[in-house]
Chains A and B, each alone.
Chain A
Amino acid sequence: MRYSLIFHAPDPREEGSPQPSPEAMAEMQKLMSDYADALYSAGVFIAAEMLEPTEQTTTVTRRTGSVVIEDGPFAASKESLAGVFIIDVENRDAALAWAEKFPGTNYGTIEVRAAAISYIDGRWVQP
């Protein structure tokens, strides 16, 4: 069963949010790397993406009729989407066990959401 661990954290570019030092960044990368290794060695890893800050977001919509392309996120907020880990585990309890170990929970929040349907190897698969 596929679960997305959706990570939200304060945007470091946002005013008033703490600026991580290069050392702190390197340390967090090490913890993240250990985490991804553990997922991989457990055979539950599907994909992981850590995202650039929202400042470098481009938003595309055709809601009003024609294409509108804008710099910046759809909605500015204190916390923004910072990364997604997709894992394949038995059930929600196992997904929660992994979410608890996610290093970023020290400064952000993980949303654990089951996939309703996944596109795998060229076709939609229902869990």
Chain B
Amino acid sequence: MVLSQDGWGRIIALIASADGDLAGAEDALSSALERAVSVWRESGIPRNPEGWLYRVALNARRDAWKSAATRTSVPWDPDIHDHIQSRLRDDGDAEEQTDSDSLPDHRLELLAACAHPDIDPGVRPLLMLSAVMGMTGKQIAVGMALPAATVAARLTRAKKLIADLGIGFGQPDRADLEVRLPDIHEAIYGAFAIDWVHAESEPRDGIVGEALYLSRLLAQLCPDDGESHGLAAVLHLSAARFPARRGGGGEFVSLESQDLSAWDSTLAARGEHHLREVHRTRQIGRFGLEAAIQALHMAGVRSGSTDWPMLLRLHDDLGAIAPSLGGAVSRAAVIAEIDGPEAGLAALDDVGSVGGSGGAGGQTNAAKRVDSFQPAWALRAHILARAGRCDDAAEAYRRAIALTTDPAERTFLENTAGGRWPRQP
């Protein structure tokens, strides 16, 4: 690869910042890369390869812009035209410097464009992987276990949308970008925590490395934003445990039974570094708290003694700023550790009663959701089994297993339940 991991996103951000045309910028950079292969073979690699690629790609885009101006079939927006003209002049100056200076960095604006509110949240991660990382639709499809045609269609639609919106992102308003940060965080988190759309025959690692890179990039672009560091921390700490989460036979291994020597110490150290940065910024948000919770759990497994009261405080804070079903269920698990099974079960019952009251049938929306929430049933089963309430535990295991589509997790639950329920009625 002639381009560094940083290079693709930098050049795309610079070129597309004029008119928001990501597809056009990608075509231009791809053709520049093709040219580089033959030109560099002849004359050697230039001193500043990225500056060279940027110039060649920009020239290709200029040709496209100019020809668009003369073609009647393409709608020509005078505002964009003026903007591009001024950019071409600016870049004329910048071009002189590209040999010695590094390229200006518009990647934060590019990330913000990818997380634009008009783009479906499920498509934003795909767009980031494509535009910022230079991944092909096919690579993304393989990583996410999606059909390649689906990914290609979604990318094309989203890029067209950005181009149609005319989101030129050359002159960013810093305040605008800060408003968009939560959406950027969500999208990067989405690329990492792929909600496995399909039942898989075998677990995939997906695009973990790319999502980690995006989180580090964002933390680097926004060094004083606590949540950006929090996101990087939570992703790295999770990824550090990935090698240990499946056993030799592909079976699911719960956190407390994991082989600690299989944890990735480099990733864990990076996660802890970003967690310290969260403390430095003194901005602790949802991701910062989740990272702190994970770090405490990991420290507990390492030392053999978990600080449950501290975990409960963190969960309380998390529930106050970012309430979620998953968070509330995890909090109930902590309460079961501190105050015993009955208290844990009571906390789980409370999860069901959170939220608005009184639907038509007297059942709240939250209650309906918790009723179909697999982790809530798995935890209930676990607590009941520990309390020695075997019949109730068997029933809860049955409900949890019915909601589990992942084969490895299903096997884990079936083994844990120990055959206390009939497999087939």
Contact = CB atoms under 8 A, between A and B. Distances in A.
Interface residues of A, number: 30
Nearest to A90: B402
A101 B198 contact: yes
Contacts of B153: 18
Interface in A73-93: 89-91, 93
Contacts of B374: 97
Contact of A93 (B145, B149, B198, B372): B372
Contact of B199 (A18, A35, A89): A35
A97 B403 contact: yes
Interface in B264-280: none
A49 interface: no
A20 B152 CA distance: 12
B198 A34 contact: yes
A100 B196 CA distance: 10
A98 B424 contact: no
Contacts of B199: 34-35, 37-39, 98, 101
A117 interface: no
B399 to A, nearest CB: 7
Contacts of A28: 147
A100 B374 CA distance: 14
B372 A21 contact: no
A50 interface: no
Contacts of B141: 27
B407 A41 contact: yes
Interface string B113-150: 00000000000000000000000000001000111111
A106 B150 contact: yes
A97 B195 CA distance: 12
Interface string A25-67: 0011001001101110111000000000000000000000000
A125 interface: no
B205 interface: no
A98 B198 CA distance: 9
Contacts of A35: 198-199
Nearest to A24: B149
Interface string B196-219: 111111000000000000000000
B410 interface: yes
Contact of B405 (A20, A23, A27, A98): A98
Contacts of A43: 423-424
Contacts of A97: 372, 374, 403-405
Which 7 pairs of residues, A with B, have the shortest CB-CB distance? A38-B199, A93-B372, A90-B402, A94-B402, A106-B150, A34-B201, A24-B149
Given A35-B198, A93-B371, 11 more contacts: A18-B153, A23-B148, A31-B145, A34-B199, A38-B201, A41-B407, A42-B407, A93-B372, A96-B372, A103-B147, A107-B149
